[in-house]
Amino acid sequence: MFIICLIIVILSAAPPIWLFLQSFKDIQEFTLTTSILPKSFDFSKFTQTWKELKFYKYYINSFISIGGSIICAIVFNGLLAYAISILKPKGSKIIYTLVVSSLMIPATTSIVPLFVNITKIHLNGSFIPLWLSAGASAFYVVLFKEFFDALPKSVIEAARIDGCSDLGIFFRIIMPLSKPITTVIAMYALNAAWSDFLLPSLLLNNTGLETVMVRLFQFKDATGSQVDVLRAIVFAIIPPVILFTIFQKRIIEASNFSGTKG
């Protein structure tokens, strides 16, 4: 078992390590040598690529997309899960069945009608559709519901006795108690928004609002240097790697909790 795990780790780690090492080479060294290690670790090449690509601009665009996506993912999906798990109105079981069933439908099948509707209401060329798409995730609803089901109902009943409204209970009681799952969903939403290419490329292309992934694709087609593309890819993968390293314990704990509940 140890050998199998070791092989999986090596196969998973080899591509990003190779990418990082090759990005230190210039185009001549990259094309004419077969050595994995570069002759020197010169970070000025990264600085040059960063300035030429104006990556800071697309980082800002991506962070704007991420910020709105995280808020919508937590608030909208959390409210639906709260209604299904805690309020339980008539038909909530049917709604939850439909939500779970939608997980079997590939997201790409809805891209065309989604783009047509966004164009009709004149929201293309803005981040709003990207934010709203994060607020309609069946996966996040399921995670929230599984967590809400385990919360003590006595606390909720006590809040109702004190005259707290349903929305007040959600924002003042449920959400503070749900920090573990909220952190996980925020990380999932962050990773999804950062790595998303298809919808941003349809909505933000040639608007000056392109995200990192959209600009990376454009840069791949525009540049003649393969090494510059490698450095740009390094810029693109650094933020999610750092954040996952920081929050991996929370993510694993919440995933284990959800799996146990299921």
pLDDT digits (tens, 9 = 90+) for 197-248: 888 888 887 778 888 888 888 776 665 577 888 888 888 888 888 887 887 7
Token match 């709203």: residue?
Answer: 132
Q: What is residue 229's predicted lDDT score, i.e. its pLDDT? A: 82
pLDDT in tens, 116-130: 888 888 888 889 999
Residue of 176, 222, 216, 199 lying closest to 78 (CA atoms): 176
d(Cα 82, Cα 88) in Å, to the nearest integer?
8
At residue 148, φ and ψ (nearest 5 deg) are: -65, -35
Q: Residue 142 pLDDT > 90, yes or no?
A: yes
**How many other CB atoms are found less than 10 A from the CB of residue 82?**
22
pLDDT in tens, 20-71: 888 888 777 787 777 888 888 888 888 888 887 788 888 899 999 999 999 9
Residue of 251, 242, 229 lying closest to 194 (CA atoms): 242
Global confidence as pTM: 0.83
Q: What is residue 247's predicted lDDT score, i.e. its pLDDT? A: 75
Determine contact, residues 210/218, Cβ cutoff 8 Å.
yes
Q: Residue 77 pLDDT > 70, yes or no?
A: yes
d(Cα 55, Cα 182) in Å, to the nearest integer?
30
Q: Where are the beta strands (DSSP E) in the chain?
A: none
Q: What is residue 84's predicted lDDT score, i.e. its pLDDT? A: 94
- Which pair of tokens denotes residue 228? 């510059």
Residue 195: exposure state from Cβ atoms within 10 A (0-12, 13-18, ≥19): middle
d(Cα 152, Cα 154) in Å, to the nearest integer?
5
Q: What is residue 260's predicted lDDT score, i.e. its pLDDT? A: 47
CATH superfamily of 54-261: MetI-like (1.10.3720.10)
Cα–Cα distances in angstroms (integers) from residue 30 to residues 42, 227, 228, 233, in the given order = 14, 7, 11, 16
Sign of torsion over alpha carbons 13, 15, 18, 23: negative
Bigger pLDDT: 27 vs 97: 97
Highest mean pLDDT of the ranges 12-16, 22-26, 52-56, 188-192: 188-192
Residue of 148, 183, 220, 231 lying closest to 70 (CA atoms): 183
Average pLDDT over residues 76-93: 92
d(Cα 255, Cα 191) in Å, to the nearest integer?
16
d(Cα 114, Cα 96) in Å, to the nearest integer?
22
Determine contact, residues 198/181, Cβ cutoff 8 Å.
no
Bigger pLDDT: 252 vs 169: 169
